[in-house]
A = this chain, B = another copy of it.
Amino acid sequence: MSDSDDTESGRRRHATIVEVADRAGVAIGTVSRYLNGHPVRRGNREQIEQAIGQLGYRRNAIAAAMKADLTNTVGFMVPSLSEFHAPVLEHLSRAMRRVGRALLTYCHDANPASIADALDFFVTHRVDCLIMDGRNDVDERILELIGNGTPVIFYDNGWPGLPVDRVLVENRAASFRAVTHLLDIGHSRIAVLTGNIGDWTGGERFEGYRQALLGRGIEINPDYVLDSHWYETEAYSGMLRLLSLPEPPTALYCCNYNMAVGALRLLREHGLKVPDDISLVSFDDVPLFQLHDTGITAVAQPVAKIAETITSIMASRLSDRGLSHAPHTITLNCDIILRGSTRRLITPQALGSR
């Protein structure tokens, strides 16, 4: 057999366009045009198709990418594949398939070095676009990508300021509504487990909490505000601290899913019931919350919509490159899913104000 050869790397060499052209008795230009859907004379087309079949020819997208400066590859980087990020990735992946691209996926460790590693990979592999959770500590490599015209899209997080597109949700307003719900049913001692206050998202969610309370004339009690940095473990210990307060809260607002899990775990181990002993509302809606006992009232982020929006921004950026519009920031709405994790409280004040 002379159709295939072995390379020193132990991999069988792929047939090339040149071999196809030879066997079909046409020029490589003709084959290239055939491959790219341009018109080709009927007889030639048949010859080419036959040659391709016989040789098992497969287009080398790497070579094409080098020529076209387009890899059809999109960088995707998140801190973890949590219950929030995993569905986003799944939706994105399906959307990308529709436009003939795929995602180069990286999980960073939230430390600068790992982020730098990932970005180096993306830059050197010439991704067409970069999608990532917004960071505050901006790596120079992100600026580099922006500088050479690669669209960068943040989602979920990240301060305004950097010239990138952003797909965010109405964190502050949704938090406000969630906490207001607790106020409406009579709670005033409401604690919060916040994400990194330094993050835009963490700050906004806290701010919604703050405004809701202040709006009802309730002062913020520092003992009720615990920065658990988005982590389950810190929420777990934070919850313990809340319970040991002389006047523990009657309700709890968790700024993400992980922290709700931490809090629930501790409550469970201490034999405390939601909502009998404490009411609970959380950001992020996950299967767990539908099934947990009475169900957990939660803020549902529009995951599918987030992925769609990212995809369409990418498409428009990629179609008219060069014309660089100002960056967009798109803010999507959240739904509050009411379940059974909150209990109406009849407070002395409430009775008095009737």
Q: List residues of chain A with CB under 8 Å of any chain B CB.
A: 6-7, 9-12, 14, 56, 58-63, 65-66, 68-73, 76, 80-81, 86-87, 89-90, 93-94, 97, 100, 102-107, 109, 114, 117-118, 121, 123-126, 144, 147-150, 261, 264-265, 268, 287-288, 290-293, 320-323
How far is the CB of A22 from the nearest CB of chain B, in Å?
A: 20
- Name the contact of A89 in the complex, choosing from B56, B65, B105 (C-beta under 8 A): B105
Known contacts A9-B321, A62-B71, A288-B287; A121/B148 CB under 8 A: no
User: How many copies of the chain does the oligomer comprise?
Assistant: 2
How far is the CB of A335 from the nearest CB of chain B, in Å?
A: 19
In the bound complex, what is the Cα–Cα distance between A264 and B12 (angstroms)? Answer: 51
For A70, the chain B residues whose CB sits under 8 A away are: 9
Q: Are A66 and B62 within 8 A (Cβ)?
A: yes
How far is the CB of A130 from the nearest CB of chain B, in Å?
A: 13
For A6, the chain B residues whose CB sits under 8 A away are: 322
Q: Are A104 and B106 within 8 A (Cβ)?
A: no
How far is the CB of A257 from the nearest CB of chain B, in Å?
A: 9
Closest to A148 in B: B12
Known contacts A121-B102, A125-B62; A148/B90 CB under 8 A: no
Known contacts A62-B71, A268-B291, A291-B292; A97/B80 CB under 8 A: no
Q: Are B86 and A106 within 8 A (Cβ)?
A: no
In the bound complex, what is the Cα–Cα distance between A144 and B12 (angstroms)? Answer: 11
Q: What would be 12 A-B contacts, judged by CB atoms less than 8 Å apart?
A: A9-B68, A10-B320, A14-B126, A61-B126, A62-B62, A62-B66, A62-B125, A62-B126, A93-B105, A288-B288, A288-B291, A292-B292
- Name the contact of A147 in the complex, choosing from B12, B109, B126, B320 (C-beta under 8 A): B12
How far is the CB of A24 from the nearest CB of chain B, in Å?
A: 20
Closest to A11 in B: B149
Closest to A80 in B: B90
Which 8 pairs across A and B sit closest by C-beta, in order of nearness?
Answer: A10-B322, A10-B321, A86-B86, A11-B149, A61-B124, A12-B148, A105-B105, A81-B86
